[in-house]
Amino acid sequence: MQRNLALFDLDHTLLPLDSDQAWAHYLVRLGVVDGARHADKIDRYYRAYAAGELDMDAYLDATLAPLASHPRAQLEQWHAQFMRDVIVPAIRPEARALIARHRDAGDLCCIVTATNEFVTAPIASALGVEHLLAIRLGTHDGTAGGEYTGKSVGIPSFREGKIARAHAWLASLGRSFEDFGQSWFYSDSINDVPLLEHVTHPVATNPDARLAELAAVRNWPVLQLFGEAGVAAG
């Protein structure tokens, strides 16, 4: 049984881009959504997220709507193209090495992200991380493989919700945070301070300006996994 726990944010932490923003731009490229207006809306939500001012309910309404507008099989075909064209080329050796270091040490590894499970499950798989906590999606028949309703279900894995989801996930494994001698959380975002404060080893990873400032005050380690800046979603 694993003695230590390693949790990872995804966007701008393990990836040098925001996967939800990149997916929205990819749908624009495919001509699936309302062009520049949709991209501008998603970009405005991303800026609000970066500022720590995101209205999560409004954001989910905007980002999940395209999932309800197209058959699941078509969405999965587009996502496979998205993985090939955008995500796989963006996965860096530094991210793989960080994950491998914890996996090789026998740590229990999990990605905890505020992006939805449709976008992120194939990314977690590509990174070799078995466990994923992401925004859960409703389906019309209530099954994992059903057609999407365009609505989320359960507690969003966002801010304090990441702690609640992590506790529930560990409980489903018959574990708790207290079972682990050491626990890590890697994140770039000021939004993730609650979970960073919850682990024994918070690591500000490619941190935004506000998190970098807080890390300096708290003497948290700072990891620049991709250098000083990531790449823009396009």
Verify whether residue 9 is a known catalytic residue. Answer: yes
The pLDDT tens digits of the residues spanning 136-184 come to 999 999 998 999 999 999 999 999 999 999 999 999 999 999 999 999 9
Verify whether residue 61 is a known catalytic residue. Answer: no
11, 18, 107, 188: the active-site residue: 11
- pTM for the whole thing? 0.93
Q: Output the six-digit token pair for 206.
A: 């490619």
User: What is the mean pLDDT of the segment spanning 106-122?
Assistant: 98
The pLDDT tens digits of the residues spanning 87-104 come to 999 999 999 999 999 999
The pLDDT tens digits of the residues spanning 30-77 come to 998 876 777 788 888 888 888 888 898 988 988 899 999 999 999 999
> Is the CB of residue 170 less than 8 Å from the CB of residue 161?
no
Average pLDDT, the chain: 93
The pLDDT tens digits of the residues spanning 197-234 come to 999 999 999 999 999 999 999 999 999 998 754 333 33
Greater pLDDT, 190 or 230? 190
pLDDT band at 186 (very low <50, low <70, confident <90, very high): very high
3-state secondary structure the chain: CCCEEEEECCECCCECCCHHHHHHHHHHHHCCCCHHHHHHHHHHHHHHHHCCCCCHHHHHHHHHHHHHCCCHHHHHHHHHHHHHHHHHHHCCHHHHHHHHHHHHCCCEEEEEEEEEHHHHHHHHHHHCCCEEEEEEEEECCCCCCCCEEEEEECCCCCCHHHHHHHHHHHHHCCCCHHHCCEEEEEECCHHHHHHHHHCCEEEEECCCHHHHHHHHHHCCCEECECECCCCCCC
Q: Is 68 exposed, middle or buried (0-12, 13-18, 19+ CB in 10 A)?
A: middle
Please tell me the predicted confidence (pLDDT) of residue 35. 66
Please tell me the predicted confidence (pLDDT) of residue 49. 87
User: What is the mean pLDDT of the segment spanning 9-37?
Assistant: 91
Please tell me the predicted confidence (pLDDT) of residue 231. 35
Q: What one-letter code names the amino acid at 17?
A: L
Instruction: Give me the domains of the chain, ranges plus CATH numbers.
Output: 4-223 (3.40.50.1000)
- Residue 230 backbone dihedrals phi, psi, to 5 degrees: -85, -165
Please tell me the predicted confidence (pLDDT) of residue 191. 95
CA distance 191 to 187: 9
For residue 39, what are the contacts with CB-CB under 8 A and spacing of at least 6? 24, 25, 28
Please tell me the predicted confidence (pLDDT) of residue 33. 81
